[in-house]
Structure 1
């Protein structure tokens, strides 16, 4: 679909990948970009329309769908990493990860599905991860939430097909943001994630494998378990 002239909503738009998505949309000619943030009073960004949106709050989601009733592109980017270690710590953080990463994506998608349908179908983009496919014993709750998010992405792709909505899943390894400052591993720039996602929207591509890590892990899904979880 055409990005030029489109109206987009990005959740979790205040920083990192979300902010990069908003910049990329404006650069590609989007007519309007709603920036979904928890505290719009504290958010300033030229060219963007701040929108109060906590993806765990049903009332805010419903209000956002009414305000952004002209949206033709919805990007579910809001996400958190808050869970405990595998064998220690409260599970409350893992519950929050599921609430935001999985149920938040599902709730926003539900609310905006009729909006997209009314505006010709459009595109629904979900920011996923290689963690959708490969468990992580350091961040088990986060990986589980992203796996659930991938599953609902695929369900939405099937469920929204008849209304003409393209559902895109974006997968990547570590991205250079505030959340990965302490991670000692190769990282992709947030702007690169956004750029490849814009290309996918323009080309009607349903899956984005941003980096070599995403491509390698995706390919390993069809192989023996040892490819995903090498023991040496």
Structure 2
């Protein structure tokens, strides 16, 4: 288990939205240092937060960021992209899927690989991967995003098992729509990023492996062993 207090935190996709909320809450909880990873760090100004240029699709920028932030003890893989399409048979499904996977799946893999030795060298280290309830919720207009997040979930489960013996905690954050720029234009109930972050850091401190950060996600997870699980027939209201 890891308390964010006195940790050195590196967050990808931290210029705004959920990533920025992670950075601010880490500072509030007493983190020693907070690195905010982003593609354009030139205009970022947040007291007590160190901007670091990183593009999770570019291995050179990832390596440079890892070298700069070699004191990291908590890595948060938050960077992600989404797009709406007509459905799983849309003409652009393959193109959009390639885009989503490059950031939402391969980005997580690349960044985690770059920080592996850094975290293994620390007496207490952890990784948080930002996932989604979309891995269990059929939403055809988000097919490429859902597939990329399902891959990231699978990777997180394998990573957790691999790093258990070395003592690195791996926490998967599952959540539905969050009220950030990423979900602009989607008219659905949305969770507060600040609330999601508080729940996630609390789960990390409690030594948990997963956190369901809103009621809808918790309900979906509870259906997985049912005869008709939520990914076949979603519960009413979802």
Check whether TM > 0.5.
Answer: yes
Cα distance in 1 between the residues matched to 2:78 and 2:225: 27
- The 3 A distance-change label for structure 1 pair 25 and 119 is same
> Are 2:227 and 1:224 aligned?
yes
Change in Cα spacing, 1:112 to 1:178, as seen in structure 2 (3 Å) is same
Give the direction of change, closer, same or farther, for the CA distance of 1:126–1:226 in structure 2 (3 Å limit): closer
Are the structure 2 counterparts of residues 213 and 115 from structure 1 closer, same or farther at C-alpha, using a change threshold of 3 Å?
Answer: same
Report the secondary structure of 2:208's partner residue: coil
User: Of 166, 171, 176, which aligns to 2:174?
Assistant: 171
Q: Which of 152, 156, 178 is equivalent to 1:153?
A: 156
Within-5 A mapping of 1:1-232: 1-82=2-83, 84-86=85-87, 87-90=89-92, 91-225=94-228, 227-230=230-233
Inter-partner Cα distance in structure 1 for 2:165 and 2:207: 15
* Partner Cα separation in structure 2 for residue 225 and residue 60 of structure 1: 45
Which secondary structure does the structure 2 equivalent of 1:124 belong to? strand
- Mapped contact 2:137–2:230 kept (Cα < 8 A): no
Q: Which moved more, 1:70-79 or 1:130-139?
A: 130-139
Q: Give the secondary structure class of the aligned counterpart of 1:123.
A: strand
Deviation at 1:31, TM superposition (A): 0.8
CA distance in 2 between counterparts of 1:141 and 1:130 reads 14
- TM-score for the superposition, normalised by structure 2: 0.93
Alpha-carbon offset, residue 224 of structure 1: 2.4
Gaps of 5+ in 1: none
Q: What CA distance in whole angstroms lies between the structure 2 residues aligned with 1:83 and 1:180?
A: 10
1:121–1:163 contact (8 Å) kept in structure 2: no
The C-alpha deviation readout for 1:60-89, integer Å capped at 9, x for no partner, is: 111111111100000000000036332223
The 8 Å contact of residues 136 and 230 in structure 2, kept in 1 or not, is answered as no
Once superposed, which parts of structure 1, at least 4 consecutive aligned residues long, lie more than 4 Å away?
Answer: none
Q: CA deviation at 1:163?
A: 1.4
Distance 2:59 2:23 in 1: 23
Asked if the contact 1:122/1:164 (under 8 Å) is kept, the reply is yes
- Structure 1 residue 167 displacement after superposition: 0.2
Counterparts of 1:227 and 1:78, CA distance in 2: 27
Q: CA RMSD for the aligned pairs?
A: 1.5
Question: What is the DSSP-based 3-state SS (H/G/I as helix, E as strand, rest coil) of the residue aligned with 2:139?
Answer: coil
